[in-house]
Structure 1
Amino acid sequence: MPHHPHAPTRLLAALCLCLASLLTVAPRPAQAVEGGASHYIQGAYGDFLMGLIPASGFYVRNDTLYQSAHMDSTFKAGRVFAGIDDTSVINITKLSYLFDVPAMGGFLGLGVGVPFILNEHITGDVAADYSRRSRTTGLDTPHQLDFGGGGDRGGLSDIFLMPVIAGWNFGECHLAVSPIVFLPTGYYDKSKLTNLGMNYASFDGNVAFTWLSKKRFELSVNAGYMINAENATTKYLSGNQLHVDWTAAYHVNERLALGAVGYLVAQTTPDSGSGATMGSFYSSGTGIGPAATYAIPVGNKDVMLIAKWLHGLGATHSFLGDTVYASFAVKF
């Protein structure tokens, strides 16, 4: 058979087209909430005595967390990825002030949180630019094919406000209400994988409950519902999410407590907007792990040290992995 001078080029083009078709047509990528992530961080709300406000005053808390997770496939940065690996180190400082309000029989205050991503490392296994269907041929034609992507980035992420913090104590039971507003303050480029913010605002209504028995057993639950605004750049509206974080613990004494923490998150509305071209997806995930806290006296203050590890047990259309927290909190 005679050798055709354009045969290798045509063969390579055919292979690229077949691979791109597999990535963009069958099966659909697992995306849900744009890029498979949202302002909710797995296990971030789960803590000891999360529904208890002990006294009025100025509170400072700092969380440093290491997160390593994988997602099988997603549509992100204008490309379809067959796999995403994300390793991040994040530091979050939260400042809050609580007033004792006898008229309401509890506490009332406000707060702010400043997250800073020390480093985010993301790699994509295989990628293809999103394809558009030709009006003449009726076929999906990819614009470009890549065999990987990613990088590193660090900096300010999305600042969040706690405009109202309210708490009540009823003997062994304690209740706290704290809506949170996330602002799009972090770096964002729709063509990059390594974004520091979501590029949209979110409202997260939270109610926390703590039962602390006289025998020092604790059960705490935080339930929240996150409503996302549309990403103005990509015209992608991520679905709303219900998340529940819980803690079951035993307080060995006034300073030491040991227990388990866990989370459950589920998307309740589909993705929408003109940018959600791959369809509507629902995400969910759950995880569990150990936790410990110890109070160290520093001067006339008690500094609470908190450590916890969340191991993902399962996830659909979202990241699955491990998150380790090292935190401290102090009241002034």
Structure 2
Amino acid sequence: MNTCNVLKLKALTAAILLATLGSAAQATEGGGGVYPNGNENYLAGALPPPGTYFLTYASRYEASTLRDNNGNRIPLDFNVQANALALRVVRVTDQQLLGGQLLFHAVAPLVNLKVKAGAANGSTSGLADMVFGTGLGYHASDKLHYVWAVDVTAPTGSYDSNKLANLGRNYWNIEPVFAVTYVQPTGINADVKVMYDFNGVNHATDYRSGQELHADYSVGWALGNGWTVGVGGFVYQQITDDKKNGVTVANNKGRAYAIGPSVKYDTGKGWFVMAKLEQEHGVLNRAEGSTFRIKALLPF
């Protein structure tokens, strides 16, 4: 296997890790970002009443295809499987700021990652990069809700540039967020969560990943009995070039789309569970795979 392909495989494993948290491999270092694309589902922009809430995100990602800058399949024999359990605590305060409810949250992702590429194998488990954030929630009506927020991802996951599989990306990230939700007990339900990533430098490799624009979405129909059925997924586009040792890495921007069935069950008593299956399409400079996700909320 030539040096280029070895580097691509190392890049792939980092991207697969991110795809399980919560989402996504060559573009950006490791071919992924700090955010797990497709992680959110229904109610992404609807802030609950003041209180403390516990959310669980469970996912399984698998990929065996790697795409180049033209979208062609790279002839590498590999398989990656990643299972993740992300634990999120949200504190919605009763304090008002700029007309919105002030909130704080933190996410601790636990990951099991396995990689096989020809005769090479890699695996690791443990705590990945943690997320801390704050924001403001607004209720325009009983059906329309939105949130402005800023998340910061800290390099808490283990990292070794010589290893095939890593739990962290080894750099800080700042991510502004806007999420909007339209929800009703019967009829159309829709959500969009838009994010923009500013990535720090990985000082172990002197690599700065480009800025990324991406959004999770869901559209469904509420049946009036607690169930909502529809589709969900994400769109992703890298905006600026990567830089290695201060030099631009050309023809390396990532792109991906995903769509699949999505369902939600809401008890109407403060807790809900959601599930969706996503298949990636239109991929450039990244891994192409599928993800099964479950999200659940329980109020304290």
After TM superposition, is the score higher than 0.5? yes
- CA separation in 2, counterparts of 1:200 and 1:315? 24
Please tell me whether the aligned partners of residues 144 and 182 of structure 2 are also in contact (alpha carbons under 8 angstroms). Answer: yes
Q: Could you tell me which residue of structure 1 aligns to residue 95 of structure 2? A: 101
Q: Could you tell me which residue of structure 2 aligns to residue 261 of structure 1? A: 232
- Pair 1:85 & 2:53 matched: no
- CA separation in 2, counterparts of 1:312 and 1:218? 23
CA displacement at 1:279 relative to structure 2: 4.3
CA displacement at 1:273 relative to structure 2: 2.7
- Pair 1:292 & 2:285 matched: no
- CA separation in 2, counterparts of 1:22 and 1:32? 13
Q: Could you tell me which residue of structure 2 aligns to residue 3 of structure 1? A: none
- CA separation in 1, counterparts of 2:257 and 2:284? 10
CA displacement at 1:123 relative to structure 2: 2.1
Please tell me whether the aligned partners of residues 262 and 286 of structure 1 are also in contact (alpha carbons under 8 angstroms). Answer: yes
Residues 123-162 of structure 1: pairs in structure 2 closer than 5 A: 123-125=116-118, 148-162=119-133
- CA separation in 2, counterparts of 1:211 and 1:98? 20
Q: Could you tell me which residue of structure 1 aligns to residue 299 of structure 2? A: 331
Q: Could you tell me which residue of structure 2 aligns to residue 307 of structure 1? A: 275
CA displacement at 1:120 relative to structure 2: 0.4
Could you report, residue by residue, the CA deviation over 1:215-273 in whole angstroms, capped at 9, with x for unpaired residues?
53112111100111011101111111100111101111262211210210000000103
Please tell me whether the aligned partners of residues 230 and 273 of structure 1 are also in contact (alpha carbons under 8 angstroms). Answer: no
Please tell me whether the aligned partners of residues 311 and 322 of structure 1 are also in contact (alpha carbons under 8 angstroms). Answer: yes
- Pair 1:68 & 2:38 matched: no
Partner AA of 2:135 in structure 1:
I
Unpaired segments of 5 or more residues in structure 1?
A: 1-18, 75-79, 126-147
- Pair 1:229 & 2:229 matched: no
- CA separation in 1, counterparts of 2:3 and 2:107? 43
* Worse overlay, 224-233 or 310-319: 310-319
For 2:109, which of 90, 109, 115 is the aligned residue?
115
Unpaired segments of 5 or more residues in structure 2?
A: 12-24, 69-73
- CA separation in 2, counterparts of 1:198 and 1:322? 22
**SS of the counterpart of 1:216?**
strand
Please tell me whether the aligned partners of residues 70 and 84 of structure 1 are also in contact (alpha carbons under 8 angstroms). Answer: yes
CA displacement at 1:42 relative to structure 2: 2.4
Q: Could you tell me which residue of structure 2 aligns to residue 317 of structure 1? A: 285
Q: Could you tell me which residue of structure 2 aligns to residue 194 of structure 1? A: 165
Q: Could you tell me which residue of structure 1 aligns to residue 20 of structure 2? A: none
Could you report, residue by residue, the CA deviation over 1:262-313 in whole angstroms, capped at 9, with x for unpaired residues?
210000000103187964510000010111111358xxx5431111111112
**Aligned residue pairs, count:** 277
- CA separation in 1, counterparts of 2:77 and 2:151? 31
**SS of the counterpart of 1:179?**
strand
- CA separation in 2, counterparts of 1:83 and 1:33? 22
**SS of the counterpart of 2:205?**
coil
CA separation of 1:83 and 1:282: change in aligned 2, threshold 3 A = farther
**SS of the counterpart of 1:281?**
coil
**SS of the counterpart of 1:272?**
strand
RMSD across aligned positions (CA)? 2.6
Could you report, residue by residue, the CA deviation over 1:13-60 in whole angstroms, capped at 9, with x for unpaired residues?
xxxxxx748869xxxx97211121221212013x11211113111111
CA separation of 1:251 and 1:116: change in aligned 2, threshold 3 A = same
Partner AA of 1:319 in structure 2:
A
**SS of the counterpart of 2:282?**
strand
- Tell me which of the two structures has the higher relative contact order, counting C-alpha pairs closer than 8 angstroms and 6 or more residues apart: 2
CA displacement at 1:97 relative to structure 2: 0.5
Highest CA radius of gyration, 1 or 2? 1
Please tell me whether the aligned partners of residues 166 and 178 of structure 1 are also in contact (alpha carbons under 8 angstroms). Answer: yes
- CA separation in 1, counterparts of 2:263 and 2:139? 23
Partner AA of 1:168 in structure 2:
Y
- CA separation in 1, counterparts of 2:38 and 2:154? 20
For 1:38, which of 8, 14, 33 is the aligned residue?
33
